[in-house]
Amino acid sequence: MTEILLFKGTALLYLLAMGAFFIYLVLLKDVYARVAPFILLAGFVLHTAGLASQIARNGFPVVTDLHEALSVYSWLIVGIYLLVQVKYRLTVLGCFVAPLAFLMALAGLAVGPGGGELPPGLRTSWLYIHVTLAFLGNAVFALAFAVSLMYLVQESRLKTKRMTALYKLLPSLERLDRLNYTFLVWGFPLMTLGIITGSLWAGFYWGAYWSWDPRYIASVITWLLYAALLQGRITAGWRGKRAATLTIVGFVVVLGYFLWGDAVFPSRHAGNFE
């Protein structure tokens, strides 16, 4: 199918972008700082075309299986990074985003289309709003995760006094901590709205706003973790290494359940909407 070729091209461009970002890390040449985001943008455009082709084939936007979920997730991560790059000129962040986008795109191709179809009763605006908000929140948390990794790397180099070229390339600890907080402030409301709209949709379709579904439980646990982190930052002054570490833990929970949760703990979100 056309979209499969587009997705293969997307994965290739994400791989090339990853290589360009890594060369930039090693050589610190400005030309690679300009080329790498451009290649990533080209991959994003191709990715957008693939998703548009998929929607045109299905007749509606849908994320019914892991292949489609990984594709949409990596697309959002890259798209948000490109917006961040325009505002903050944080090229080095792409060194973390490009590998993540490539691995998710590659995993999506390896899984392959599931061929799942969405029942007509679920083709409502509530579902699309819920999925969009939830995925946007998780994508923003992915960038918070990348920034937190950068913070820990930079802090480690400062402690060991290894003032290498990478130290000069990475932003200051203060700026990284501020970016982490900014991403958390954006991601948390999106996640919250995603949970609320998901609950409303469940009440409309299944007749109950809450059930002890594993996805529900994992979402609430993750929400509580990020809520505690934000509360700690606002009221208790949590910053630096503690905030970065908790951000990483939160995203590992999000990503872990996203990839393996439905396989270990089957739920309605696993494609069974009956």
CA-to-CA separations, 48 to 70, 81, 120, 135, in angstroms, rounded:
14, 15, 25, 16
Query: CB 248: neighbour CB atoms within 10 A?
Result: 17
Sign of CA dihedral 151, 154, 157, 159: negative
Of 153, 142, 148, nearest to 259 (Cα)?
142
Q: Which two tokens stand for residue 71?
A: 């594709």
DSSP assignment of 12-51 equals: HHHHHHHHHHHHHHHH--HHHHHHHHHHHHHHHHHHHHHH
pLDDT value at position 20? Answer: 95
Q: Indicate the residue type of 161.
A: K
How far, in Å, CA of 170 to CA of 153, rounded? 9
Cα–Cα distance, 199 to 126 (Å, whole number): 10
SS3 (DSSP) at 182? helix
**CA separation (Å) from 244 to 138, 151, 238?**
16, 7, 10
Q: Which pLDDT value is given to residue 129?
A: 84
pLDDT of residue 273: 41
Residue 41 has a pLDDT of 96
Cα 80 to its chain centre, rounded Å, is 9
CB 215 within 8 A of CB 262: yes
Q: What is the pLDDT along the chain (274 residues), one digit of tens a residue?
A: 678 889 999 999 999 999 999 999 888 888 888 999 999 999 999 999 998 888 777 766 667 677 788 888 999 999 999 999 998 888 999 999 999 999 998 888 887 665 556 666 566 677 778 888 989 999 999 999 999 999 998 888 787 766 666 667 788 899 999 999 999 999 999 999 988 888 887 777 666 666 666 777 778 888 999 999 999 998 888 888 999 999 999 898 888 776 655 544 455 555 444 4
Distance CA 193, CA 189 (A): 6
For residue 109, the model assigns a pLDDT of: 84
Give the span between the Cα atoms of 213 and 215, in whole angstroms. Answer: 5
Contact 77, 100 (CB under 8 A): yes
- Write phi, then psi, for 163 (nearest 5 degrees): -85, 70
Specify whether the CB–CB gap between 134 and 198 falls below 8 A.
yes
